[in-house]
Amino acid sequence: MEILTPRTLDEALRIKSERPGAWPIQGGTDVMVALNFDRNRPEAMLNLNEVAALRGWSRDNGALRLGSGLTYAEIEHGELRDVLPALAEASRTVGSPQIRNRGTIGGNLGTSSPAGDALPPLLVEDAEVECASVRGTRRLPLGEFVTGVKRNALEPDELITAVWLTPSEAPQTFMKVGPRNAMVIAVVSLAVSAGEELRASFGSASPRPVLVTAPREEADAFPARVAAAAAPIDDVRGSEAYRRHALRVLTHRALERVLA
Amino acid sequence: MTQTSAPGKLKVGKVGELVPRVDAPTKVKGEFAYASDLIVPGMLWGHTLRSPHAHARIRSLDISEAVSMPGVHAVLTHDDVPGKKTYGLEFPDQPVLAIDRVLYYGEAVALVAAEHPEQARRAAERIRVAYEPLEPVTDMERATEQPPLHAEGPARGHGYFDDPRPNVVRHMVIRHGDVEAVGDVSVSGVYEVGIQDQAFLGPESGLAVPDGEGGVDIYVATQWLHVDRAQVAPCLGLPLSAVRVHLAGVGGAFGGREDLSMQVHGALLALHTNRPVKIVYNREESFMGHVHRHPARIWCEHRATREGKLVNVRMRILLDGGAYASSSTAVASNAASFAAGPYEVPNALIESTAVYSNNPPCGAMRGFGAVQTCFASEAQMDKLADALGIDPIELRLLNALQPGDVLPTGQTIGGSLPIAETIRAAAALEPPPAEELPRDPVRLPGGTGNTTHGEGVRRGVGFAVGFKNIAYSEGFDDYCAARVRLLADGSAEIHCAAAEVGQGVTGVILQVARTELGIDDVRLAPGQTATVESAGSASASRMTWMAAGAVRDACRAALEEQQRRPGEEIDVERIYRHPRTTPLDPQTGQVTGERAHVAFAACAMKVVAEVDVDLGLTRIVWIGAAQDVGRAVNPQQVEGQIEGGTAQGLGLALMEEIQTRDGLITNASFTDYLIPTALDMPPVESVLIEEPEPSAPYGVKGVGEPPTVVSTAAVVGALRAATGRELTRVPVRPDDICL
């Protein structure tokens, strides 16, 4: 297997256009599991760790640009904690501290797992995914970017370069259910915000991220509405019935927090 | 704290002193060499091709393409096993490599040795196996009515009850007193235990090195060097002397390394290629590479007087042993022996059956049958207390066993067994008061998931007591050897093949030797089969007792020899045996001599849980344990065993389960087989009850298993108290609490 290590974004995009089969790797917290378990054997790896343009985050007028190489630890501990509190709470639930030091939101988007912890809080904040290639750059709403279970709209020559959003500053929270008290894949998760309207999105309860909204005055019916919008399944991590029940409980509790 | 002397030369104290572990710093710093770190020049990598089916006939097996792959030095099948084709701890019912059928998911089918592990894996993919899938036997209750997986009945003719039903590994009944005796009240329940895995962090691994003369040295993480040799040599068609087994660094065992894993496979490849061969399982493979804790279904009825005295305990225990026998016969017997708990029971009818199936093979795991039955019988004791309106701790004290009492097997308790003291000591431990709200969610059920800020949270306190045997039972000749060399420079070298599996037996051996020899400069030679006789297994809470006995006897013999031959180097070996046991009667389950079990050890535990009853999530807040330890050789090590053993039982109570579908494992990873983290396992306050065991060296008892036996029961007791739910199955799922 070849390891390709570009130093600049231009070089990375050029390689990706020439070698669309090369797998991008940043933190490696998903990719290395797939390799170690022998689930996949790509011909080449595109190591993005040396591309400075993908790291960190910046402000652009009122909008935020989160680099795809932004780590969960950076979100959890830095200034973003106050700007994007639900995303910070979600980041805190990801793996162990070591994993959070390596894992990135770009990886979460690239994997496009229904259990991706960053996806619900980003969707509630109307995030857009920036995809780049030698052909140019485009932005896709997160809900359109993810097209199915571990599938997304990224073209073979594209890389995820950033996430754009304008913080709503609405009260918001994130919760995640797992059968142990740390280091779990979500059995079900939920992000809720209460700005001009109520907004919710959940993880591990539908093939694609779903945004559920309602007027603030319909808060009482909101838990049932969120649970009804889910399409959970039975699997080794939990039952369909439990996931739906938990979504109702979580939404109810989330509203108490964000409407307080 | 114990002071240390010069760096690198830790002064290890005498028996009873608190001594830091010699291997702790290297393990904490990641410098300890585990079996998976073994490396020698010219080494090849072995890989095992495993069955993707739980039950299938092998129609054909074609290795021609695999052998010609780059870097490949050997591809072996059952045809290449030169000696006995099967092996097993109790009966040789398991093929070294599958012959014409596979009986479980992950069964070894073929082996590859190549220059690089990747080449070995790629070649294994090119081995063409034509399987004809067969209907798997997966339900332990239906197994005895389905076609036999082992028609030849490997367990027959070994002195057990001759059960005519198919797929019975062992069936036994303990009849004690009047089995129909009735009481004033009766409580019943059916309890279930899922498949727990040992989940040791160091996967199966080892290195086999051919000696150029037809023999082989095997360096492996194992629990019993000599029994490995006894199983490996016949399969290789070699005399015992041509197979030397050496202990490599063990990353946890818990019973899962009693059975063979890579030993024969590595040796076959090494002898075939005349190159050293290393095999390391990955995490997924490890879930197929060792036996697990038996899943169980247990039917119970407890009858008692109005005052709370037990009158009759009736239990039926069903254990799924999976595809091969491993130690199922002994697990079935142990489950029955300790089924009624540490209580005086005048009448009992206890039936225990282990069956064959196409589920993952099960065998030894910490607690060995007593974990499953303790979970059931302690739930029954709480139920009985509730039915009678008696305090559950008072009910346990009222029925507590004591020396002189007779067990359901007819064995009179001879040695030390301070059950009442242990119960009282645990009951006297005061948990801390509930923490105030609001608090950081990591200190609430759901932990980092931020699922509650206090909503739905109820607190509950559970209590349980459990006991089990120490050492092997039912007539097994369970000895331990030690060899002591007194050298000219005044130092001593100890040889003992006791497996250091992380439990700290190395420290025990050194403490005993220093105590007996009266010198500091004592070394323990690396464990191997060639230089000393068997130590028996690092299992059954026996190793401290047995190694202490053997090293003590050898040290004393060496000192006597030195008196006779002053100034000379001394080299003596001694064998220690614990009091002999005899089998249980196959018809009545009663002792046929003075004892079927050597001795007993108990642990009582109080657990405080907080449960989010709306989401079914749990936080265990505090655990208090009192354990009957005989005499603590090293109190710090004993506390470590109590904490580790408690964590393993807590894992079974809350999350640890191998899930299967039609015999196929569906969660073979640490992503989906969850073990407790630091946020799940609370601090343990432990009290050591030191009442010396009269038949043991220094009065010691084994300490590794009792906390595991009882903690599952105690944790679920706390969950019941918090939720008011029956919770008859472990691990308890969130669904069981809130749906």
What average pLDDT does range B599-625 have in this prediction? Answer: 98
Structural domains of chain A ordered from first start: 172-258 (3.30.390.50)
The CATH number assigned to the domain with range B36-135+198-289 reads 3.90.1170.50
pLDDT at B585: 97
**CB atoms B442 and A181 under 8 Å:** yes
Assign B12 a pLDDT band (cuts: 50, 70, 90): low
Q: Which of B680, B733, B734 sits opposite A181 (nearest CB)?
A: B680
- The reply to whether residue A33 touches residue B679, judged by beta carbons under 8 angstroms, is no
Chain A residues touching B733 at Cβ < 8 A: 179, 242
User: How many whole angstroms separate alpha carbon B167 and alpha carbon A74?
Assistant: 57
Residue B91: φ, ψ to 5°: -135, 140
* Residue in B455, B674, B676 nearest the CB of A253: B455
Residue B1 has pLDDT above 50, yes or no: no
- The pLDDT of residue B169 is 97
CB-nearest to B738 from A37, A245, A257 is A245
> Would you say B205 and B38 are in contact if contact means Cβ atoms under 8 Å apart?
yes
pLDDT in tens, A177-203: 999 999 999 999 999 999 999 999 999
Domains B36-135+198-289 and B474-577 share a fold: no
Q: Assess contact for B426 and B673: CB atoms under 8 A.
A: no
Ranges of beta strands (E only) in B149-276 are 168-176, 185-193, 205-210, 216-220, 243-247
- B397 near A CB under 8 A: no
- Judged against a pLDDT cut of 60, whether residue B3 lies above it is answered with no
Given this model, what pLDDT does residue B410 score? 98
Residue B384 has pLDDT above 60, yes or no: yes
A142, containing H or E segment? helix A142-145
pLDDT-derived band at B8, boundaries 50, 70, 90: very low
pLDDT for position B13: 87
For the purposes of burial, counting CB atoms within 10 Å of the CB of B404, is it exposed (0-12), middle (13-18) or buried (19 or more)? exposed
Give the model's pLDDT for residue A39.
85
Residue with tokens 């912890």: A117
Residues of chain A with pLDDT under 70: none
Tell me which CATH code domain B400-468+599-738 carries.
3.30.365.10
B24 burial type by CB count under 10 A (0-12 exposed, 13-18 middle, 19+ buried) = middle
Residue B616: list chain A partners with CB under 8 A: 242
pLDDT score at B11: 52
The partner residue sitting opposite A236, judged by closest CB among B448, B456, B672, is B672
Q: Work out the average pLDDT over B118-126.
A: 97
Query: What pLDDT is recorded for position A41?
Result: 86
CB-based contact B598:B578 (threshold 8 Å): yes
What residues of chain B lie within 8 A of the CB of A39, using their CB?
A: none
Instruction: Name the residue ranges covered by the structural domains of chain B.
Output: 36-135+198-289, 400-468+599-738, 474-577
Q: For residue B447, which residues of chain A lie inside 8 Å, CB to CB? A: 180-182
Q: What backbone torsions phi and psi does residue B232 show, to the nearest 5 degrees?
A: -75, -45
pLDDT at A37: 84
Q: What is the predicted pLDDT for the residue at B478? A: 92
CA nearest A90: which of A208, A235, A254? A254
Q: Give per-residue pLDDT as tens, B303-360.
A: 999 999 999 999 999 999 999 999 999 999 999 999 999 999 999 999 999 999 999 9
The tens digit of pLDDT for each residue in B423-464 reads 999 999 999 999 999 999 999 999 999 999 999 999 999 999
Cβ(B371)–Cβ(B193) below 8 Å: yes
Tell me if the domain spanning B474-577 has CATH number 3.30.365.10.
yes
Q: Which residues of B, range 720-739, sit inside 8 Å of A by Cβ? A: 733-735, 738-739
d(CA B225, CA A164): 61
pLDDT tier, B490 (very low <50, low <70, confident <90, very high otherwise): very high
**B728 vs B17, B188, B205, CA distance in Å?**
42, 11, 37
Q: Please give the pLDDT value at position A13.
A: 98
Per DSSP, which regions of B662-733 are E strands? 664-665, 684-689, 729-730
- Residue B737 backbone zone (phi > 0: left; psi -120 to 50: alpha; other: beta): alpha
Asked if A174 and B450 come within 8 Å (Cβ–Cβ), the reply is yes
Distance (Å, rounded) from C-alpha A244 to C-alpha B1? Answer: 53
- Contact of B97 with B78, CB cutoff 8 Å: yes
Tell me the nearest-neighbour CA distance from A258 into chain B, angstroms: 13
**ipTM of the assembly?**
0.97
pLDDT category of residue B589 using cuts at 50, 70 and 90: very high
What's the Rg (C-alpha) of chain A? Answer: 18
Q: Residues B506-526: what's their mean pLDDT? A: 96
Distance CA B449, CA A175 (A): 5
Given an 8 Å threshold on Cβ–Cβ distance, is B282 in contact with A37? yes
Q: Are A211 and A231 in contact (CB under 8 A)?
A: no
**The Cα angle at residue A75 between residues A71 and A79, in degrees rounded to 5:** 135
Please provide the average confidence, as pLDDT, over all residues in chain B: 96
Euclidean distance between CA atoms A189 and A182, whole angstroms: 14
The neighbour count for residue B156, using CB atoms within 10 Å, is 13
If one counts every other C-beta atom within 10 angstroms of the C-beta of residue B237, the result is 13
C-beta of residue B223 within 8 angstroms of C-beta of residue B499: yes
By residue count, chain A amounts to 260
Place of tokens 């390891």: A3
How confident is the model over B32-65, as pLDDT tens digits? Answer: 999 999 999 999 999 999 999 999 999 999 999 9
- Is the per-residue pLDDT at B4 higher than 50? no
Interchain pair A180, B456: CB under 8 A: no
